[in-house]
Amino acid sequence: MRMPLYLIGLGLGDAKDITLRGLEIVKRASSVYLEHYTAILNDTLEEMEQLYERKVILADREFVEQQCDGMLEEARTNDVCMLVVGDVFCATTHCDIYLRAVEKGVQVHCIHNAGIMTAVGISGLSLYNFGRTVSVVFFTDSWHPSSFYDKMGENLKNELHTLCLLDIKVKEQSIENIVKGRKIYEPPRYMTVNQAIEQLLWLENEKKQNIFNLDTLCIGLTRVGSPDQRVIAGTAEQLLKVDFGPPLHSLIVPHPGQISEMEMEMINHWRIRD
Amino acid sequence: MRMPLYLIGLGLGDAKDITLRGLEIVKRASSVYLEHYTAILNDTLEEMEQLYERKVILADREFVEQQCDGMLEEARTNDVCMLVVGDVFCATTHCDIYLRAVEKGVQVHCIHNAGIMTAVGISGLSLYNFGRTVSVVFFTDSWHPSSFYDKMGENLKNELHTLCLLDIKVKEQSIENIVKGRKIYEPPRYMTVNQAIEQLLWLENEKKQNIFNLDTLCIGLTRVGSPDQRVIAGTAEQLLKVDFGPPLHSLIVPHPGQISEMEMEMINHWRIRD
């Protein structure tokens, strides 16, 4: 009998956002791993272990990239769970694990959960009116990638809204530490709505495609799916002054000419009061 | 003290796909309504009521459009839940309810869950490489809408994959019954992958934009998120012959020139064996 690997989405909030189906599987699994580098969950490991009544093993980037064979070997003879924040396939890493499991003759089952790409429907913008989702990555001193700015431009040209998911840097090593082979990691960094807006304005100033400026209507979303989530709409200039609080942050840039009446009503509901 | 209305996503499978957070709220609510016309859940009402230990009131289209004021009135003084299949904001109806609640001074909280738009990541295609989602509606004898075909063409032009969500007709009245004021409803209809492909081929034959033909690589997905989900990849011609079984069905049309190596590996995993 082939035992399965379960990829279980945890949703966006904390340990209590697991589904009943997911929890049942976790409780009877021989090992429970938590994928731990593409997102954060608003919960300590202890709270999770208490609620799930299981030891939870942290699987960081290193684990997933280098040690996951052991986990898959285990899944040949035992029920093994890998918990994933958000929905299961929000990161391509999980396709890689999926395929490696299949190769080893391990069955894979997925238990889906909330993902940011549909949860942002809370903004009021219809999910049917979004173009491709873009990923806003941190600028460095020498590297100012602009693909998210260009893709936003394409979405505007196609009369579509843009969801911007903002960069996360977890367990990154400095170049110095990589060179010296030292496993010392930089503190985690999560891009804020403010930083994303600043980078978009910087690119507008460079490329002058009239895609994003201080008057652009934006919706900043933080900690979507958590009890303390916030949704704030306003111009880029207004949102630059807002303290959005702890991560994760996301940003929506609606197409200004393609906002339906109901969408605008919802945006007005979220609009910042000066 | 203002009591809230909870909009609670149920996910894509059955009653067990509710989250622990959602279930906690359902169990203490004074009334529990189930939105019942934009999707189906693979579960009978009785199973749901047993698991949730609450009576579940069916809220069909008529209810949501005409009688939801009573529910909102109740939510001014009691915890009221409205259960929604999938994630909360996959249908714009829920924005309408949200705004009507806010207008009445009712607080609204959302408990997110899995939605089809991220769950289709199981196909292996990166969610970042999708253009806008299109809705394939049933042709009638006299009406052959083509906007989904045109939008797929735009996605192709933008080098993006297309997710097609397929039409659902629940509690529809025939024109005769509307005219005669009879509340007799047609049997529910759910578009199959096969029907969607046939309509796309029909439009290709009419409009000849070289967007979709018998050789087009497609991925048919059925009952995503259920234990008996199926994912089958193949040409349109191959998939036309497949019996995909019970609803709901979805269809992905990847951009043929923009499939990454890992995406293709996953597609090959799902590929139909002749």
**What is the reported pLDDT for B254?**
98
Neighboring chain A residues of B122 at a CB cutoff of 8 Å: 88-89, 110
H or E element, residue B163 = strand B162-166
Say if strands A134-136 and A31-35 run parallel, antiparallel, or are unpaired. unpaired
Sign of CA dihedral B14, B15, B17, B18: positive
CATH 3.30.950.10 domain span(s) along chain A? 117-270
Each residue's pLDDT tens digit, A201-220:
999 999 999 999 999 999 99
The answer to whether residue A175 scores a pLDDT higher than 90 is no
A21 touches chain B (CB under 8 A): yes
A21 contacts B16? CB cut-off 8 A: yes
Residue B36 to residue B59: CA distance in whole angstroms = 6
The minimum CA-CA distance between B259 and chain A, rounded to whole Å, is: 13
Helix (H, G, I), strand (E, B) or coil at A86: strand
**What is the reported pLDDT for A3?**
75
3-state SS track over A215-265: CCEEEEEECCCCCCCEEEEEEHHHHHCCCCCCCCEEEEECCCCCCCHHHHH
* Number of cross-chain residue pairs from A and B with Cβ atoms under 8 Å apart: 162
Topology of domain B4-114 in CATH is Cobalt-precorrin-4 Transmethylase; domain 1 (3.40.1010)
Residues 6+ positions from A79 with CB-CB distance below 8 Å: A3, A4, A6, A25, A28, A29, A30
**What is the reported pLDDT for A268?**
97
Neighboring chain A residues of B106 at a CB cutoff of 8 Å: none
Neighboring chain A residues of B89 at a CB cutoff of 8 Å: 118-119, 121-122, 124, 127
Each residue's pLDDT tens digit, B210-262:
999 999 999 999 999 998 999 999 999 999 999 999 999 999 999 999 999 99
Nearest CA in chain B to A132: B131
**What is the reported pLDDT for B227?**
87
Residue B93's pLDDT band (cuts 50, 70, 90)? confident
Disruptive mutation site among A122, A130, A224 for chain B (greatest number of B CBs within 10 Å): A122
H or E element, residue B32 = strand B31-35
B234 touches chain A (CB under 8 A): no
Topology of domain A117-270 in CATH is 3.30.950
Residue A211 to residue A131: CA distance in whole angstroms = 15
The type of residue at A119 is A
H or E element, residue B204 = helix B193-207
CATH 3.40.1010.10 domain span(s) along chain A? 4-114
Say if strands A217-222 and A249-253 run parallel, antiparallel, or are unpaired. antiparallel
Cα Rg of chain A, angstroms: 20
Helix (H, G, I), strand (E, B) or coil at B86: strand
Residue B232: beta bridge partners?
B220
Backbone angles phi, psi at A268, to 5 degrees: -65, -35
The type of residue at B153 is G
Each residue's pLDDT tens digit, B110-139:
999 999 999 999 999 999 999 999 999 999
Residue B3 to residue B25: CA distance in whole angstroms = 12
Residue A127 to residue B207: CA distance in whole angstroms = 27
Each residue's pLDDT tens digit, B168-179:
988 778 888 888
Residue A250 to residue A59: CA distance in whole angstroms = 25
**Side-chain half-sphere exposure of A176, counting CA atoms within 13 A:** 3
Residue A249 to residue A224: CA distance in whole angstroms = 8
Average pLDDT of the segment spanning B194-205: 98
Residue B251 to residue B196: CA distance in whole angstroms = 8
- CA distances to A133, A140, B108, B253 from A178, rounded to whole Å, are 31, 17, 48, 41
Q: Which of residues 84-123 of B touch A (CB under 8 A)?
A: 86-90, 92, 95-96, 98-99, 102, 110, 112-115, 117-119, 121-122
Residue A169: beta bridge partners?
A189
Structure tokens, B79: 């915890």
Sign of CA dihedral A94, A96, A100, A102: positive
* Backbone region of residue A230 per phi and psi (left: phi > 0; alpha: psi in -120 to 50; beta: other values): beta
B9 touches chain A (CB under 8 A): yes
**What is the reported pLDDT for A1?**
52
Residue B64's pLDDT band (cuts 50, 70, 90)? confident
Q: Is the ipTM of this complex over 0.90?
A: yes
The answer to whether residue B1 scores a pLDDT higher than 60 is no
